[in-house]
Structure 1
Amino acid sequence: MPPSFVTDGGTLTLDLGTSANTGWATAASSAPPSYGGNGGSKPPGPAPVPTGPVRSGIAGKCVDVDHGSTADGTRVQSWSCNGSAAQEFALTPEGTLRGIGKCVQLDGTGIHSLATLWTCDGGGDQKWTYNASTKALVNPQSGRCLDIPESSAQDGTQLQIFDCNATAAQQWTLPA
């Protein structure tokens, strides 16, 4: 049987099985666990996800949660960038676009399906990928891009998805 070990907090138990080798034994230690070659410090965790405004290709506009509401179904809209909490978003490693502790969700997959804020559930209607070359936020389930309808510069225009076309209405700069 090959050697194995189990750690349990500060205890290390080494089990070598039924080998005739008597140079090894089971031992316990009250020392804190060490993580090897980096001076005994804990390994680094994942890098923090950048959070901040998602800026539109339409000058001065940002993704915004209507009135900063956390209610499911709240409109996700374009609004003049103002640095408020309603404009703080992060594209997570799981592929969700999160703001105010909720996810940007679509009400369908067709052209003109609207973006709303919803409790995160991991569904395809809440998934997004970012294409850095075109600056598009794409919903993989629909294959369509997050879009400001008619390239409107009007505050309060609810965001939608539309066939990807690389216009300013579909160009987004994510927080760095």
Structure 2
Amino acid sequence: MESTGQRPDPRALIQEEHVSEQNSTERQRQERAEFVDAFNKRAWQPGERPRQRLRFLAGGIAVIVAAGVAYGAGVLDHYDHRKAAKNRERELALTARAGQAPTPAPTSPYAMPWGTTTPSSKPPASPALPAPKPAEPGTKEKKRTVFKAESKGGRRPAGPKFSTARDLLLMNVVTGKCADVPGNGDGTMNGPVVQHTCRATAQDNQRWDLVVRKNGAGPNGADLFTIRNSKDGLCFDLRGSGAVDRVTEWRCASGGNQLWYLDEKHSGEFWIRDSGDGGKCLDVEGARAEDASLTAWPCDPKDDHLWVLKPAN
């Protein structure tokens, strides 16, 4: 006896196929989600974060180093910019005074109009004077006057109170150059005093004598002294009494415009200050320039006012 089977229901087959497609789509979605989750976990593993922090730290250090280099460059340029501004102020003061009628300086009976020119390079020595006639028989040759207080000369000053000292180089701490008279010979009356590369040799004219004139008569009991060139015998002298005073050479005297005192700021480093006119400091007009004029200028710890007194021998 033959058996007859039932035909499958078409709607059941369609429904079963639809469920199979849905299951396949769900599996694909889950696989994509698992892949993304695995990628995220790999990107934020503990071993990776320190490397990122190191990269951030390295970048920060680079920024700090760059800022430090920029700051250092600014510090190196600061001095020259400040000197340029001061020189402009100085030029205005000199220009204003140049337009006034010349008047004698009140502090010195022999005051004369001071020079306004400064050589740009060390000029040749002054023309030699005629040789002196030989002394006649039976006569003695005249010797240069030497003060009793300086006959032997002391060591370089160790403070504001000292004994007369001879043959010193006056070296500026900032510029590294020494007080000098143009040329290699004697200076001239009312001639400029400048700075130049230091030369301790006696053939040049950079040696100076600090001759004590008034013991303890300066501020805080400091000694007052004149600054005399060891070669030509002329002294530092200030011409004028304005905002800026140029230092020139003149016959040595004990007047107020030739007297100076030491104001120690560091061990062995001094402000050399004028005893009158507000106690101005010995100053360099043209920063580091060769043959820049020396002047008296209001004291400033940020300026080139520190000097060292060095024995030439």
Partner of 2:308: 173
Letter of the aligned partner of 1:89 in structure 2?
W
Q: Which runs of at least 4 in structure 1 moved beyond 6 Å after TM superposition?
A: none
**Gapped regions of structure 2 (runs ≥ 5):** 1-150, 155-164, 214-224
Tell me, yes or no, if the aligned pair for 2:175 and 2:304 is still in contact at 8 Å.
Answer: no
1:97 partnered with 2:227: yes
Tell me, yes or no, if the aligned pair for 2:171 and 2:179 is still in contact at 8 Å.
Answer: yes
CA distance in 2, matches of 1:47, 1:79: 25
Does the residue aligned with 1:114 lie in a helix, a strand or coil? Answer: strand
Higher mean C-alpha displacement, 116-125 vs 46-55: 46-55
| Within-5 A mapping of 1:49-128 | 49-67=165-183, 68-84=185-201, 85-94=204-213, 95-99=225-229, 100=231, 101-128=233-260
Tell me, yes or no, if the aligned pair for 1:109 and 1:141 is still in contact at 8 Å.
Answer: no
Shift, 1:153, TM fit? 0.7
1:149 partnered with 2:149: no
Does the residue aligned with 1:157 lie in a helix, a strand or coil? Answer: coil
Distance 1:77 1:156, change over 3 A: same
Q: CA RMSD in A?
A: 1.9
| Within-5 A mapping of 1:40-55 | 48=154, 49-55=165-171
What TM-score, normalized by structure 1, do the two folds share? Answer: 0.67
In the alignment of these two chains, the number of paired residues is 131
Shift, 1:115, TM fit? 0.3
Greater strand proportion: 1
Distance 1:74 1:57, change over 3 A: same
Shift, 1:47, TM fit? 5.0
Greater helix proportion: 2
Partner of 1:11: none
CA distance in 1, matches of 2:285, 2:264: 21
Q: Whose radius of gyration is greater, 1 or 2? A: 2
Q: Which has the bigger relative contact order, CA under 8 A and spacing at least 6? A: 1
1:162 partnered with 2:297: yes
CA distance in 1, matches of 2:260, 2:191: 18
1:139 partnered with 2:274: yes
Shift, 1:76, TM fit? 0.3
Letter of the aligned partner of 2:177 in structure 1?
K
Shift, 1:70, TM fit? 2.7
Shift, 1:133, TM fit? 2.1
Residue from 129, 135, 139 that aligns with 2:261: 129
What TM-score, normalized by structure 2, do the two folds share? Answer: 0.39
Does the residue aligned with 2:257 lie in a helix, a strand or coil? Answer: helix
Tell me, yes or no, if the aligned pair for 1:61 and 1:80 is still in contact at 8 Å.
Answer: yes
**Gapped regions of structure 1 (runs ≥ 5):** 1-44
Give per-residue Cα distances to partners, 1:134-166, cap 9 Å, x unaligned.
61010011111110125x111111111110002
Does the residue aligned with 1:174 lie in a helix, a strand or coil? Answer: strand
Does the residue aligned with 2:179 lie in a helix, a strand or coil? Answer: strand
